[in-house]
């Protein structure tokens, strides 16, 4: 029975610095620019495809049988994941090389549609990167308390699945309208939601398309997927200057990349070693860490199921 998810110190090799990596794992200057090169066209395609899938699934859901509607509803969860990951890239200034375009597209076409105040997210997320599990860690509720008993995770996921967690977040946005300091930001986010409501009504011909195939998946299954991904990234780890003690590495599978960790975000340890590496470069950068002996099989979970089993290893 596991009592921690932190790797055994005996499995952590002291291999840095190397000829190609600095002591903190960041590539030497001669290589760094290659790994940090942003591909504008990849991100244009990613944003366009996210919107295309959103409208396509909503249309399917309103024009198919009840089974097709159920498929559209369930498939919209991974679309929310895609919007969240693209918003995360924009928060890191990695969506487009032009920072003005990065912020404009990241705000109005990615973050606000996903009901995220990207400016606030950026500040809290950078606190997360400065010191995982530090005093300013914004997501400690997602990461702490693992391993736990299976019933504990089931209870959390049930709260997510039935909309309890989602309502807590949505209520904060509604209450922000009543405060002068936050009214403008909340109005912008809710204004974008009204535009999406009208657009989905126009595309599908049904006024309820937005509620059934965007807002409700955000309230429910997106919460489940977000919690499962958060556990897989940092659940049960600890504060350390060595990112191998703060961040998991999980071997990537095609299904996981489609459903849970699109845009190569599953190479999360590499992202935390150098948060300036855009998503499409993470596999290559991870391979560099493997070649150096920094990432080894001993600290790699074979898949996400294995990690979640380890995260619920305590007896009920």
CB 232 within 8 A of CB 250: yes
In a domain, 15, yes or no: yes
CA dihedral 197, 85, 74, 198 (to 10 degrees): 10
Q: How far apart are CA 77 and CA 70, in angstroms?
A: 12
Question: Which residues lie below 8 Å from residue 269, measured CB to CB, with a gap of 6+?
Answer: 243, 244, 247, 248, 249, 286, 289, 295
Which ranges of the chain have pLDDT less than 50?
none
Residues in a beta bridge with 249? 300
In a domain, 316, yes or no: no
In a domain, 286, yes or no: yes
In a domain, 167, yes or no: yes
Residues in a beta bridge with 250? 301
How many CB atoms lie under 10 A from the CB of residue 93?
16
Amino acid 302: pLDDT: 96
In a domain, 271, yes or no: yes
CB 6 within 8 A of CB 237: yes
CB 288 within 8 A of CB 28: no
Amino acid 141: pLDDT: 87
CB 244 within 8 A of CB 234: no
CB 266 within 8 A of CB 258: no
Q: How far apart are CA 249 and CA 64, in angstroms?
A: 39
Provide the domain count of the chain. Answer: 1
pLDDT in tens, 278-304: 999 999 999 999 999 999 999 999 999
> Which of these, 216, 170, 228, lies nearest to 76 by C-alpha position?
216
Amino acid 186: pLDDT: 97
User: Is the peptide bond between 280 and the residue preceding it cis, with omega within 30 degrees of 0?
Assistant: no
Range of the domain at 29: 9-311
Amino acid 4: pLDDT: 84
Amino acid 125: pLDDT: 96
């Amino acid at each position: 029975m596991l009592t921690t998810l932190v790797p055994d110190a005996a499995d952590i090799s002291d291999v840095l610095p190397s000829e190609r990596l600095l002591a903190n794992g960041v590539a030497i200057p001669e290589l760094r620019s290659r790994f940090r090169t942003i591909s504008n066209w990849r991100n244009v395609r990613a944003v366009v495809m996210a919107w295309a899938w959103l409208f396509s699934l909503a249309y399917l859901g309103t024009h198919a049988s009840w089974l097709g509607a159920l498929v559209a509803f369930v498939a919209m969860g991974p679309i929310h994941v895609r919007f969240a990951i693209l918003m995360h890239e924009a928060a890191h200034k990695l969506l487009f090389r032009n920072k003005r375009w990065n912020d404009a597209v990241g705000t109005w076409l990615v973050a606000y549609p996903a009901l995220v105040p990207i400016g606030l997210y950026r500040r809290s997320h950078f606190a997360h990167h400065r010191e995982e599990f530090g005093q300013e860690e914004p997501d400690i509720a997602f990461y702490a308390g693992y391993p736990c008993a299976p019933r504990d995770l089931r209870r959390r996921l049930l709260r997510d699945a039935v909309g309890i967690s989602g309502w807590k977040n949505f209520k904060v946005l509604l209450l922000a309208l009543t405060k002068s300091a936050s009214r403008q930001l909340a109005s912008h986010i809710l204004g974008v939601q009204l535009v999406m409501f009208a657009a989905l009504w126009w595309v599908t011909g049904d006024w309820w398309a937005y509620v059934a195939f965007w807002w409700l998946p955000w309230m429910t299954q997106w919460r489940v997927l977000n919690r499962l991904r958060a556990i897989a990234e940092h659940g049960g780890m600890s504060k350390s200057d060595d990112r191998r003690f703060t961040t998991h590495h999980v071997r990537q599978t095609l299904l996981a990349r489609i459903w849970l960790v699109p845009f190569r975000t599953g190479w999360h340890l590499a992202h935390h070693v150098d948060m300036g590496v855009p998503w499409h470069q993470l596999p290559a950068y991870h391979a560099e860490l493997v070649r150096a002996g920094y990432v080894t099989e001993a600290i790699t979970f074979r898949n996400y199921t294995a990690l979640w089993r380890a995260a619920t290893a305590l007896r009920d």
